[in-house]
Amino acid sequence: MLAPLDLKLLRDLGKMKGQAFAVALVMACGLAMMIMSRSLILSLETTRDAYYIQHRFADVFCNLKRAPNSLRARIAQIPGAAAVETRVSGTLTLDLPGLAEPADGAIHSLPEDRRQTLHLLYLRRGRLPEPGSTKEVVVGEAFANAHGFQPGDTIDATIYGARQRLKIVGIALSPEYVFEARAGEALPDNKRFGVFWMNERELASALDLDGAFNSVLVDVAPGADNAPVMAELDRILAPFGGLVAYGRRDHASSVQLDDELRILRGLSVAFPLIFLSIAAFMTSAVLSRVIRLQREQIAQLKALGYSSWQVGLHYVKFAIVIVAAGSLLGGFGGLFLANGVVELYHQFYKFPVLELLPDWGMFGVAFLVSGGAAFVGVIGSVRQAVRLPPAEAMRPEPPAEFKPSIIERLGLARFFSPSFRMALRNLERRPWQALFTALGLALAAGIPIVPGSFRDAISYLLSFEWDVAQRQDVSISFIEPASASALADLQNLPGVMRAEPFRSVPARLRHGHVSRRLAVTGLASDASMNRLLNDRALPVALPPDGLLLSAKLAEVLDVKPGDVIRVEIQEGRRPVREAVVQGVITDFVGMAAYMEINALRRLLREGGTISGAHLAVDSMRWPDFLARVKEAPRIASLSIKEAARQSFLKSTGDMLGTITTIYFTFAIIVSFGVVYNSSRIALSERSRDLATLRVIGFTHREVAAVLIGELALLTLLAIPAGLWIGTQLAGFIVMSASTETIRMPLILTTRSYVMAVIVVLASCAVSFALVSRRIHQLDLLGVLKARD
Amino acid sequence: METTTPAIPVLTPPDSLAPLQPGRERLFEVRSLTKVYPSGESEIRALNGVDLDLYSHELIVLLGASGSGKSTLLNIIGGLDAPTQGTLFYRDLDLTHATEAELTRFRRDSVGFIFQFYNLIPSLTARENVALITEISRDPMSPEEALALVELDQRMDHFPSQLSGGQQQRVAIARAIAKRPEVLLCDEPTGALDVQTGITVLEAIEHVNRELGTLTVVITHNAVIADMADRVIHLSDGHIVDMRHNRVRRPVCTLAW
């Protein structure tokens, strides 16, 4: 048989299971979020690290125009270079039967005469091309799955102007394409962009690079520094039209993953901490109530000879049971959610295997943290209770000291009913308790604002990006910078109503110690299709000289308008220039720098070159346009705005939508839990008074009015505070989730606030109804037994 | 109708401390005991300089009106409360200067309490309420034995809410005696009970006092009950106003009120 005190514990908990469950549930929500995000972090990090090591992801990358294969040996001798891989890389366009618009892709070579040492492929199905074979390719898995390709299928591709029919022999993944997207794009466009691998000799031939290479990968020895390796590589490749070497920090796929982890880390602490604090506060309130109610039982136990320690421990066990229940629920809930999110991640991140690795260590920490918080919340009441000499504890508490309330001191008492006056006096008697209850209610009102603002942020982002900023239908990029006549060619395509050119160069922007590698884009000053916007979504005019930077980029580089930064062009003759930052623009995906197109051309000392154009196409002639554009030889990629929007909605939009729903559910649970708890505690504290009122002759409704009046008063006061708290919370979380790759705007609409108020009022309505029922069960006779 | 035969009152001055019979040991020595406690905005002088000796095997009745200080005296003797002034010794233990641990030990090993309002733990059965004691005692009876002593072995697995007032009080007695205490303190044990049940409860107390030789102190404001005692101590306004020895103890079943 269990010890009698433990039997008492279980039975007492059974009597208050509603409240205990409410607290455990709130705790579980916080823990679930924490476990979910930390497990995702662990899974992604561990999987990524293993993948990079096992499949030899390089440390240093460099693209160039053309260098002879014999140069490979010299590169291999760079001090610090543990392994070197040279290859041929290019782009291709595809004409797929199921797709109206053309697709494009990147293609890389696989060595035939030597063993591949870096960027080893993970073959999901099929095989690599036979050495010496032609027309055989391996396809990236994301693209293959989007189209249902199998080994043995054929596709028509145009490489460097030559159209060929290729046979797919294998489907694979590569560590350089964990994120299978076009360079510079934030989202995979798996239906329209794919990655390919082909035998080296054949690809070199197609790209007019026989016996040469145009891309270098270097694995830097452990312990060696990247910088000298990159510097030496630049020196060696400079005569061969080399762009500047860069490391993983500037590698698109790698950076994406890093930023995702950063966001997860931010979320894994902020939100759960708030929930756990609320749970600790609720535990404290519930247990204080229990201890007050059991004052006489405590005295009994001490009279029987139980030490203060033993009695205190008995009540601490109440907290322990609740914490244990909350931890179990939270742990399994978190794992369940994490599993679901991992499924979503499979869409984005291409790993050979991505399994959920539960963060058991964090589980233990979470248990300790919530246990600690609950313990701290409880220890005060416990200590107070056991410290009383038993005789005093057995005496009934002296009547509470009441004083006239503020409205009475102001002389306004006669305007208010006795119930209201009682409520007000009681609140004033225990101001700290009223404050804590109000705080809990405020949090209950504020928390639902956060998921609401997420949802509004997503809508705003969509509209901002794809309705207001980008008004083109199609963006076309050329394989190589083309002359102004290329623009005319585009304008002559069927259905094209307007074509606005852009010139884009890869560059490294530097200010002091900080630098970033990105594209500087030159736009026409009268550009109306791809517009630059400020934080109020109004167009910003391009200055005739100087740069406009993303606000985030300006923050990262620590510059403000008027500052001068260094622009290191990484193309052609690689000029280094200085330019003035003229202003900032607002965007939410990636970071960019813009100049007036002629200003950029002057910087590059070139004529009317363009890298591509934004087009407005007549929707009636869309099919004709697509048919012609598929055949155009110089086009590297074609990005259709509507398609990009759909892609976002289906992937990131989906994911954010799921997370928002989860948070909203949690917010509702917390809201209800806090309100219900506060109501039950208020009821039990006043039960003697309320029963006395019943005996005197107050009806059920009048008695309910007294109790609920107090709570309603507090709630009304708490709501404005809560809305303010929720706003701060949302701002804080948006800030901690803001990265260079993706940011969310802080959007607070009336709808969010109204939803939050509705949630808390609904919780109140339900809780008050439940509590009112209990008023019917007040023990009227118990009140009549006087104790002396 | 039987009338009570008043025992011949022997008025002894409050400081006559000779034991009634040889072979009994002195358990408590009370000197100048005073208790003042605040209550709301007032101050109450519950005890005003009490001197007293208590011996093993004795059954003592403390009489007095409401507010006379009898409960306070009982609580202090039992280590439930601390005096404001004065000294209290249990054998060699100085209770007025005892540590929390010593007081707990004293209550656990040596004292059994019975209160007017039974004070059972509502969420435990009768047997479990008694087990509360037997779990922490050095040489207890089993819960079943203790309940049999008060004739409640048939209702061991009932909760307090399923027992009558008298039955609850008897569970409280079983709980108090299960540890075989040297001292049994009863504060108005029959106050909430009807006459018949009250008699049953007092019989149980009397039985225990005789069987176990426990020093038993019973508080009541019913003077008739005084006849069952060895000594009757009368309290008023916080000090002893009268103390008499009963030459002969009347059995409980002969009392009527």
Taking an 8 Å cut-off on Cβ atoms, the answer to whether B124 and A399 are in contact is no
ipTM: 0.73
Tokens of A424: 């007000």
Tell me the pLDDT tens digit for each residue of A25-46: 988 988 888 888 888 889 999 9
Tell me the pLDDT tens digit for each residue of A701-756: 777 887 788 788 888 888 999 999 889 988 887 777 777 777 888 888 888 899 88
Distance, CA of A700 to CA of A706 (rounded, Å): 10
Nearest CA distance, B95 vs chain A (angstrom): 14
Q: Which of B39, B109, B128 sits opposite A7 (nearest CB)?
A: B128
pLDDT at A399 over 70: no
Across chain A, mean pLDDT equals 84
Residues A362, A366, A367: CA angle, nearest 5 degrees: 120
Going from the C-alpha of A482 to that of each of A61, A89, A126, A300, the distances in angstroms are 26, 20, 39, 93
pLDDT at A403 over 80: no
For A383: left if phi > 0, alpha if psi spans -120 to 50, otherwise beta; the answer is: alpha
Helix (H, G, I), strand (E, B), or coil: what is residue A57? coil
Taking an 8 Å cut-off on Cβ atoms, the answer to whether B124 and A401 are in contact is no
Residue in chain B nearest A390 by alpha carbon: B80
Taking an 8 Å cut-off on Cβ atoms, the answer to whether B119 and A398 are in contact is no
| Residue B1 at interface with chain A, using a CB cutoff of 8 Å | no
**Residues of chain B positioned with their CB less than 8 A from the CB of A787:** 117
- Say which residue, A617 or A692, is predicted with more confidence: A617
**Residues of chain A positioned with their CB less than 8 A from the CB of B175:** 304
pLDDT band at A393 (very low <50, low <70, confident <90, very high): low
Residue in chain A nearest B40 by alpha carbon: A398
Position B9 scores a pLDDT of 41
- β-bridge partners, B34: B48, B85
Position B11 scores a pLDDT of 42
A5-14, A221-230, A248-257, A314-323: which range is least confident on average? Answer: A248-257
What is the rounded end-to-end Cα distance, in angstroms, of chain A? 37
**Residues of chain B positioned with their CB less than 8 A from the CB of A302:** 80, 104, 107
A96-105, A134-143, A544-553, B101-110: which range is least confident on average? Answer: A96-105
Would strands A514-523 and A593-596 be described as parallel, antiparallel, or unpaired? Answer: parallel
Tell me the pLDDT tens digit for each residue of A774-785: 777 776 666 555
Q: Which of A4, A389, A392 sits opposite B132 (nearest CB)?
A: A4
Position A522 scores a pLDDT of 92
Tell me the pLDDT tens digit for each residue of A316-354: 898 889 989 998 898 889 889 888 888 878 877 889 888
pLDDT at B31 over 50: yes
**Residues of chain A positioned with their CB less than 8 A from the CB of B100:** 307-308
Residue in chain B nearest A294 by alpha carbon: B121
Mutate to test the interface with A, among B102, B123, B157, B180 (most CBs of A within 10 A): B123
**What number is the average pLDDT over the span B65-73?**
84
Taking an 8 Å cut-off on Cβ atoms, the answer to whether B104 and A305 are in contact is yes
pLDDT at A595 over 70: yes
Distance, CA of A289 to CA of A599 (rounded, Å): 73
**What number is the average pLDDT over the span B221-233?**
87
Residue in chain A nearest B71 by alpha carbon: A391
pLDDT band at A431 (very low <50, low <70, confident <90, very high): confident
pLDDT at A453 over 60: yes
Tell me the pLDDT tens digit for each residue of A169-209: 999 999 999 988 877 676 777 888 899 999 999 999 999 99
| Residue B101 at interface with chain A, using a CB cutoff of 8 Å | yes
Position A378 scores a pLDDT of 78
Residue with tokens 């020093």: B215
Q: Which helix (H) or strand (E) holds A393?
A: helix A390-394
pLDDT at B10 over 50: no
Tell me the pLDDT tens digit for each residue of A204-249: 999 999 999 999 999 999 988 888 999 899 888 888 877 778 888 8
pLDDT band at A512 (very low <50, low <70, confident <90, very high): confident
pLDDT at A548 over 90: yes
Tell me the pLDDT tens digit for each residue of A549-573: 999 999 989 999 999 999 988 877 7
| Residue B44 at interface with chain A, using a CB cutoff of 8 Å | no
A83-87, A106-110, A585-589, B84-88: which range is least confident on average? Answer: A585-589
**What number is the average pLDDT over the span A476-482?**
83
Distance, CA of B227 to CA of B7 (rounded, Å): 8
Residue with tokens 């519930």: A286
Residue in chain A nearest B143 by alpha carbon: A4
| The 3-state secondary structure of A490-525, one letter per residue | HHCCCCEEEEEEEEEEEEEEEECCEEEEEEEEEECC
The burial class, CB within 10 Å (0-12 / 13-18 / 19+), for B222 is middle
Residues 6+ away with beta carbon under 8 Å from A15: B123
Taking an 8 Å cut-off on Cβ atoms, the answer to whether A389 and B135 are in contact is no
For A505: left if phi > 0, alpha if psi spans -120 to 50, otherwise beta; the answer is: beta
Tell me the pLDDT tens digit for each residue of B90-110: 998 999 988 888 888 888 888
Residue in chain A nearest B66 by alpha carbon: A788
Would strands A136-140 and A246-247 be described as parallel, antiparallel, or unpaired? Answer: unpaired
Candidate ranges A528-537, A689-698, A709-718, B170-179; pick with highest mean pLDDT: B170-179
Nearest CA distance, B242 vs chain A (angstrom): 24
Nearest CA distance, A360 vs chain B (angstrom): 37
Q: Are A91 and A479 in contact (CB under 8 A)?
A: yes
Segments of A686-733 assigned E as strands: none
Taking an 8 Å cut-off on Cβ atoms, the answer to whether A307 and B135 are in contact is no
**What number is the average pLDDT over the span A376-400?**
70
pLDDT at A430 over 60: yes
pLDDT band at B87 (very low <50, low <70, confident <90, very high): very high
Residue with tokens 């040889």: B22
Q: Are B189 and B201 in contact (CB under 8 A)?
A: yes
Q: Which of B81, B108, B132 sits opposite A389 (nearest CB)?
A: B81
**Residues of chain B positioned with their CB less than 8 A from the CB of A390:** 75, 80-81
Taking an 8 Å cut-off on Cβ atoms, the answer to whether A307 and B101 are in contact is yes
Q: Are B231 and B215 in contact (CB under 8 A)?
A: no
**What number is the average pLDDT over the span A119-134?**
92
| Residue B119 at interface with chain A, using a CB cutoff of 8 Å | yes
| The 3-state secondary structure of chain B, one letter per residue | CCCCCCCCCCCCCCCCCCCCCCCCCEEEEEEEEEEEEEECCEEEEEEEEEEEEEECCCEEEEECCCCCCHHHHHHHHCCCCCCCEEEEEECCEEHHHCCHHHHHHHHHHHEEEECCCCCCCCCCCHHHHHHHHHCCCCCCCCHHHHHHHCCCHHHCCCCHHHCCHHHHHHHHHHHHHCCCCCEEEEECCCCCCCHHHHHHHHHHHHHHHHHHCCEEEEEECCHHHHHHCCEEEEEECCEEEEEEECCCCCCHHHCCC
Nearest CA distance, A408 vs chain B (angstrom): 23
Nearest CA distance, A3 vs chain B (angstrom): 7
| Residue B81 at interface with chain A, using a CB cutoff of 8 Å | yes
Nearest CA distance, A352 vs chain B (angstrom): 58
Across chain B, mean pLDDT equals 83
pLDDT band at B16 (very low <50, low <70, confident <90, very high): very low
Residue in chain A nearest B126 by alpha carbon: A4
**Residue/partner pairs of A425-433 with CB below 8 Å, 24 or more apart:** A426/A402, A426/A686, A426/A710, A427/A710, A427/A713, A427/A714, A428/A403, A429/A400, A429/A401, A429/A402, A429/A403
Position B8 scores a pLDDT of 43
**What number is the average pLDDT over the span A498-521?**
89
Candidate ranges A272-281, A330-339, A427-436; pick with highest mean pLDDT: A330-339
Tokens of A732: 């804080």
Residue with tokens 């101590």: B233
pLDDT band at A394 (very low <50, low <70, confident <90, very high): low
Nearest CA distance, B16 vs chain A (angstrom): 30
Position A407 scores a pLDDT of 67
pLDDT at B22 over 70: no
Q: Are A58 and A246 in contact (CB under 8 A)?
A: no
Distance, CA of B186 to CA of B173 (rounded, Å): 9
Burial A37-67 (b: 16+ CB within 10 A, else e): bbbbbbbbeebbeebbeebbbbbbbbbbeeb
Nearest CA distance, A347 vs chain B (angstrom): 55
